[in-house]
Amino acid sequence: MSWLFFELIVLFRCCEHDGHSRDCNCCLLIKTRASAGFDFHRSFSQTAAAFARTHCNYDAKGDVAVVRFDCPDSKVNTLSRQFQKEFEEVMEEVWANSALASVVLVSKKPGSFIAGADINMISACSSAKEVTELSLHGQQSMARLEASTKPVVAAINGSCLGGGLELALACHHRIATKSSKTILGAPEVMLGLLPGAGGTQRLPKLVGVPTALDLMLTGRNVRADRAKKMGLVDQLVDPLGPGLKPAEERTMEYLEEVAIHAAKSLAATKKLPERKLGWMRRFQDWVLGIRLVREQVLKRADMAVRKQSHGLYPAPHRIIEVVKTSLDSGKGEGYKSEAQAFGELAFTNESRALVGLYHGQVSCKKNHYGAPKKPASHLAVIGAGLMGAGIAQVSIEKGLKTHLKDVSLEGVGKGHQQIYKGLDARVRRRALTSFERDRTMSYLSCQIDYAEFEKVDIVIEAVFEELDLKHRVLHEVEAVVSPECVIASNTSALPISKIAAISKHPQRVLGMHYFSPVERMQLLEVVRGEQTSPQALSAAVELGLRQGKLIVVVKDGPGFYTTRCLAPTLSEAVRFLQEGVTPVRLDSLTQAAGFPIGTATLMDEVGLDVAVHVAQDLGKAFGERFSGGDERLLAAMVEKGFLGRKSGRGCFVYSGKKGKRSVNPGAEEIFKQFHVKPRADVSQDEDLQLRLISRFVNEAVVCLQEGILNSPSDGDVAAVFGLGFPPCLGGPFRFVDSYGAGKLLGRMEAFASVYGAAFSPCQLLKDHAKDTSKKFYP
């Protein structure tokens, strides 16, 4: 995301020192200023300042200034507060140098043009007014770039997002490589913000209002070829094939050459090429020029956003409002509205929650447990069901040689088919070529025996949640793998120490709890058993990161963290069903609270057989705190074959057609059999929502209290990205801080007076309620 400009820091190199035959930028600067009568002392002081720059450099290729981004100690280029000063300094020097006729902006980092702004700039602000001033300053800098009399060409390879895209929009010409790493987008809405450096004004002008709103309201990324079609990019460059240098390096060199040629052409013609708009775009612009039509279009867009987000996120509405202001009152008012909205949004609870989650994600993408002696490159997955096939898919997509084993040819056949369908769907979306799909499939070996298991670095078993079955598999695996091989169980509730109890080498056994569908869900919960070695832990974390997962490491125990939070929540949902709340209303009220998927639907997705199994095991482990609905209701549904989506019937009946389903009449009969008279008013959605949320939150705080979790941030990331806790609330711990521990305690005590121990607040929550200065986040 981003909205400010980058700091381009120029590093001058004297041609006398590096042996270059051509003049370097230092010499050009000195010669030009000398001929113009500049003071040499001042010139040398500016050159000295240039040596201190660390984020970028620029040199002259003929009469073209090539500015290269390269933020130190980072894999990507990001905008920071420091950038503004140095960027303006660099551009002042380029504009003042009469020997330079045009500019090319390019990154030295493979895979990253500019990935966005440094969010800490916003976090460091103490008021909305201060953030608004940041936005205004950003707008002014971009406006100066756009008004440059020397043509500026953006040469884009890799991620061009947020502020990076806003910088590119202010340039006069944009060239992008067709690399799979090249993506463009305006993801600010994902942080509860909007583009704040003129993006809301330039983007509609460039690609049209409908397309611009789609990009800004969804935050989705587009690839270079799609960006070219929509007018976001002016020119494409094909990646280069095999050669002496690495393909990425040669592609970047070629991109620079093409950009320099384009910059020279623009400078020679002294005017920008006329953009030819298609008839559809011209028609859209004409229609939206009619005020009454425009108002209706934007009103419908706002209604659609409100319906989808349940009115919980203010940023999308402000984006539409800012665009409308610009169309109605001109771009001057549009820029003012953008800056004002940006500042106000930055101080909403929703933005703070989303920014907090972003920081948590960044942390969970790092290996805090050290590099393993031997990173896994060869692994095996046992169990070719939905979970096992999903784990295998995310592994082969990263080039890991993977064995997928099941007990029957039919089982591995289904697993193979699931993986192929998943990759083929990406081919149809043009996110993958058929060659890339087939190459990815070549990393997969499907089998019904343990052939080559002696070569694997990690084995992940994904069999059914039965301790005896997992023991049997562990016994078989240990007989064939090497002593160094790590063995992981994809269990959602069974304690790892119990699974490892029969192991000859329990120090290499741990849990790797994936979430379904594995290829889409970001979280991986790594469970450290009582005897799990640091080496096994680091190997599992490293593998998860290679698979593209957010890693949260938790201590062992029944249900670990995520299942412990989910179980009491689902138990309360079962009580709702017994009290007469229909599956449709249950879904509606939970989605209105911010859960991306309704709770009745979630039970069907998890599988009612799994739900009853977990309810029984955790009920024995934790007693009354996990009480709520009658688990016999779930057992009765399983007995009828109502297992959820996988059986076609659960709370709902699934027709097989996308989005087509209805309430299962057989399930309704079971709900009536277990009906109980509500002990309190169930007509108020807010009370029902808080009953679910408070049970989730209380158990999360218990897990932190018991040391299951390492930090509140880990708990929030796991809750949102593994279980679908409302992102607008930021996770259970941030919810306590924003809602107020005292207020939550009071509501839970009121619920406990009606429903008993299930709502008893934990001690840590009581401590926070007693001392209002205590917060989970500073």
Q: Are strands 221-223 and 652-654 parallel, antiparallel or unpaired?
A: unpaired
268 Cβ contact partners less than 8 Å away, ≥ 6 residues apart: none
Of 9, 37, 41, 13, nearest to 27 by C-alpha is: 13
Query: In sequence order, what DSSP letters do the residues of 240-291 get, joined into one string?
Result: P-S-SS-HHHHHHHHHHHHHHHHHHHHHHHTSPPPPPPPHHHHHHHHHHTSH
**Residue tagged 């390096």 (tokens):** 249
Cα gap 86→6, rounded to integer Å: 8
Secondary structure letter of residue 757 according to DSSP: G
Cα gap 197→341, rounded to integer Å: 12
Report how far Cα 315 is from the mean position of its chain's Cα atoms.
17
Beta strands in 529-583 (DSSP E): 550-555
Q: Which two tokens stand for residue 258?
A: 């093409």
Catalytic site residues? 525
**SS3 readout for 316-363:** HHHHHHHHHHHHHHCHHHHHHHHHHHHHHHHCCHHHHHHHHHHHHHHH
697 Cβ contact partners less than 8 Å away, ≥ 6 residues apart: 732, 735, 736, 744
**Residue tagged 């801080």 (tokens):** 737
Q: Which two tokens stand for residue 600?
A: 């009745």
Cα gap 249→714, rounded to integer Å: 37
For residues 758 and 627, is the Cβ–Cβ distance under 8 A? yes
Q: Which two tokens stand for residue 201?
A: 């004004």
**Residue tagged 């709900």 (tokens):** 671
Q: Which two tokens stand for residue 187?
A: 């993801």
Cα gap 28→31, rounded to integer Å: 5
Output the CA–CA distances (angstroms, integers) from residue 34 to 29, 44, 97, 590, 649, in the order listed.
Answer: 8, 11, 11, 71, 83
**Residue tagged 């290996």 (tokens):** 367
Secondary structure letter of residue 56 according to DSSP: E
Q: Which two tokens stand for residue 744?
A: 């939550």
